[in-house]
């Protein structure tokens, strides 16, 4: 049996507004994505937009 590859990562701990957390839970439930993957994709999209426009 081969070893499972674990990607290099860092831990993020933060408090989210309840409404935002509810949206994240709904997204996760409807899409089948883990919350981690959903947050990673959201940050990647936000960062890509920032790089293109230079605006937050």
For the chain, the straight-line distance linking the first and the last C-alpha, in angstroms and rounded, comes to 46
Q: Tokens 């070893």 correspond to what residue? A: 3
At residue 2, does pLDDT exceed 90? no
Q: Give residue-wise pLDDT tens across range 25-44.
A: 999 999 999 999 999 999 99
Identify the pLDDT of residue 1. Answer: 63
Calculate mean pLDDT across residues 38-55.
Answer: 96
Q: What is the pTM of this model?
A: 0.81
Q: Domain coordinates of the chain in residue numbers? A: 18-53
Overall size of the chain counted in residues: 56
| SS3 category, 30 | helix
């Amino acid at each position: 049996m081969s070893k499972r590859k674990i990607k290099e990562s860092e831990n993020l701990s933060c408090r989210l507004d309840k409404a935002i957390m509810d949206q994240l839970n709904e997204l996760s439930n409807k899409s089948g994505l883990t919350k981690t993957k959903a947050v990673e994709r959201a940050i990647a999209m936000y960062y890509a937009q920032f790089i293109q426009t230079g605006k937050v």
